[in-house]
Structure 1
Amino acid sequence: MISIISGIGWHTVGAASAASFYAPISKVKQWSWETTWAVAGFFSWILLPWMVTWFLVPDFGTFYSSISAKSFWAMFLFGAMWGIGNVNYGLTMRYLGMSLGIGIAIGVTLVVGSLMPVIINGTFWHLITTESGEITMLGVVVALFGIAIVTYAGRKKEQVLGNTAEEFNLKKGLILAVFCGIFSAGFAFGLSAAEPIRQQSLSIGIDPLYAMLPSYGIIMGGGALINFGYCISRLAFKRDLSIRHDLSFPLKSLLVNASLAALGGIMWYLQFFFYAWGEANIPQSLSFVNWMLHMSIYVLCGGLVGLALAEWKGVGSRPVRILCLGMLVIVAAANIVGAGMAVG
């Protein structure tokens, strides 16, 4: 029982960290979104993954030489797929805010994450003809309903604020959220391809809590290539964007902006740590609750952080009530999907 409580606690910390990562990023002033995202990403996708690997692995050459080139490329390319989803996730936050953005993005991810694996594996028929599959499909339908409610709340917000919300764009944000949900599955595929690294980690005595972490540098490296490519191309070719402009401010302003962006990147990475700790403390017989807990708490924390940052200030109580209802429906959907996994 104590182990389960501990696992839930670590899942809460990880999901809260992931849900809150955009809060410091949103406080960056006078920088373009592209520069901010690239700085945050350097810490999240490059610096931290390889620093952790450096602490865990005594000899890089010996460790990675046992991993086939096929596995490396699979991890890297799936990471690039995840990178596309990651760019779209960041842009979803930019155009919808945290409360609305997380609600919709995670709702879409919940739907796509439930259906894409069975479609790819050719087991969709199993999903609609078994008890576990039917429960999972019910969760997907409930998630779609939650997405519709959250979207309606966003529409109400847009109507009230009009053009006063500088970056808010419901149509663009919804499109980006859908792409986020589709491509974010690449990380899970990358972890599946990283099984040889997990086995190698265990063979040299790395704690099972950290056995997958040496794969993150490769998977996130693929994502980093996509994210940095997007940001650099935007800064190079968009007339209204310039890295020279972003670096032209006084040193104090640059340090503040860099610190806020770095903090956001660190918070994003830490979710992987705490998810692993939570998963390790949940008994194998209850493993289905890991993903459900992460998604549920993610949505709740994202909504609470967005409200705390006054993203919905001035819209009135009704849109906020609709938003909260939609988030709760998405949380219920995650629990129903988890129940379907349990039955299966």
Structure 2
Amino acid sequence: MTGIVAGIGWHMVGAASAASFYAPIEKVKRWSWETTWAVAGIFSWVLLPISVSYLLLPHFGAFYGSIPSGVLLRMALFGAMWGVGNVSYGLTMRYLGMSLGIGVAIGVTLVVGTLIPPLLNGQAGLLFETRSGLLTMAGIVVALTGVAIVSYAGHMKEMPLKSGGPTEFNVLLGLALAVMCGIFSSGMSFAMNAAKPMQAAALQAGVNPLYSALPSYVFIMGGGALVNFAYCFGRLAMVKKISLGDDLHQPGGVIGRNAALAATGGIMWYLQFFFYAWGAAKIPERLSYVNWMLHMSGYVLFGGIVGLALGEWAGVSSRSIRLLWVGIVVIIAAANLVGLAT
């Protein structure tokens, strides 16, 4: 039981990192969003996955050469699927606003990414015919309730603030994009499910179980990186209002500061899945599908807490803040339900 509690704890550490990674990125000045996102991505999707795996694996090249090409391809394709969801994230915020957009997108991601892998693996009976499965399903329902409450509280916060709400609010289009974002973002969950043969190979190679999932990130995040870089550099090349050359012709101090902030955000983004691997290593294999639910609900949980800590709720009605805390408590209850299931 102690190991399971530790697993949930590590999932929450990863979720906190995920909820905080955009804070340094928001402080970047005089750079386009595309340049900032690409620099952050170089660290989170390329340098860190490769560097960590190089340190972990005794024979880096031979290890990847021993993995069947079909496994590598599935990981990369699911990573690219996640990349599409990542790119569409910004459009969701544009038409729904941050709180409502995140709530819908993560709600869909939570359900799809948690339920589909066991169904594809022929484990549907575990979800509906066992005590642990039923408790997990209850945890998902409670988590979605908490996500909805937190999202509604955030929506109430944004609407009175003209500068904080979406400039082109469109419920139907925004909801469609949020659902699309949620479905494609769940590709990360599918990719991790597809990476299990590589995790087994890492264990056989002598990698500590806590780190056995990390070598798979080279291909998973590599697939997502291709989509994200194509989008960023495509826009930098085609949109007249933004230019990579203009961004790089800033004074040296501006470039250094922006690069450091973007890199910090990228490192924090990677750390969410670093600790996700630690958490997943502590959860029993038969209940591996709960890992994604814990991560996604924790993301919303700490998103609300980080927003409070950064003063984003200053001047907001006490009713909205109370509603936020109710949602946070509900999400904590969902994590405890999943703990009982394990």
Please report the TM-score for the alignment, with normalisation by the length of structure 2: 0.83
Structure 2: distance between partners of 1:66 and 1:134? 39
Q: 1:14 to 1:135 in 2, by over 3 A?
A: closer
Match of 2:219 in 1: 218
Match of 1:165 in 2: 164
Match of 1:58 in 2: 58
Contact 2:4 2:339 in 1 (8 A): no
Q: 1:41 to 1:175 in 2, by over 3 A?
A: farther
Structure 1: distance between partners of 2:308 and 2:99? 7
Match of 2:14 in 1: 14
Q: 1:101 to 1:175 in 2, by over 3 A?
A: same
Q: Does 2:111 correspond to 1:111? A: yes
Structure 2: distance between partners of 1:219 and 1:210? 15
Q: 1:64 to 1:272 in 2, by over 3 A?
A: same
Deviates further, 263-272 or 40-49: 263-272
Q: Does 2:262 correspond to 1:242? A: no
Deviates further, 206-215 or 188-197: 188-197
Structure 1 SS opposite 2:44: helix
AA of the residue aligned to 2:230: G
AA of the residue aligned to 2:58: P
Structure 2: distance between partners of 1:126 and 1:284? 12
Match of 2:23 in 1: 23
Match of 2:195 in 1: 194
Structure 2: distance between partners of 1:6 and 1:130? 24
Note the C-alpha offset of 1:308.
Answer: 2.2
Match of 2:313 in 1: 312
Contact 1:83 1:222 in 2 (8 A): yes
Match of 1:35 in 2: 35
Structure 1: distance between partners of 2:336 and 2:93? 24
Contact 1:19 1:299 in 2 (8 A): yes
Contact 1:108 1:147 in 2 (8 A): no
Structure 2: distance between partners of 1:276 and 1:142? 24
Q: How does 1:24-173 map to 2 (within 5 A)?
A: 24-89=24-89, 102-117=102-117, 120=120, 138-162=138-162, 164-165=163-164, 171=170
Match of 1:323 in 2: 324
Structure 1 SS opposite 2:55: helix
Structure 2 SS opposite 1:245: helix
How many residues are treated as equivalent by the alignment?
340
Q: 1:140 to 1:7 in 2, by over 3 A?
A: closer
Give CA-to-partner distance per residue, 1:122-155, whole Å, 9 cap, x none. Answer: 7779866776666555555545544543443344
Runs of 5+ in structure 1 lacking a partner? none
AA of the residue aligned to 1:31: W
Structure 2 SS opposite 1:273: helix
Q: 1:114 to 1:315 in 2, by over 3 A?
A: same
Structure 2: distance between partners of 1:51 and 1:127? 37
Structure 1 SS opposite 2:106: helix
Structure 1: distance between partners of 2:179 and 2:269? 20
Note the C-alpha offset of 1:221.
Answer: 0.6
Deviates further, 81-90 or 128-137: 128-137
Q: 1:81 to 1:155 in 2, by over 3 A?
A: same
Please provide the CA RMSD for this pair.
Answer: 3.4
Structure 2: distance between partners of 1:45 and 1:80? 12
AA of the residue aligned to 2:164: A
Give CA-to-partner distance per residue, 1:271-293, whole Å, 9 cap, x none. Answer: 22222223434566886765554
AA of the residue aligned to 1:46: V
Structure 2 SS opposite 1:64: helix
Contact 1:30 1:246 in 2 (8 A): yes
Q: Does 2:266 correspond to 1:265? A: yes
AA of the residue aligned to 1:182: I
Match of 2:252 in 1: 251
Identity of aligned residues (%): 61
Q: 1:7 to 1:113 in 2, by over 3 A?
A: closer
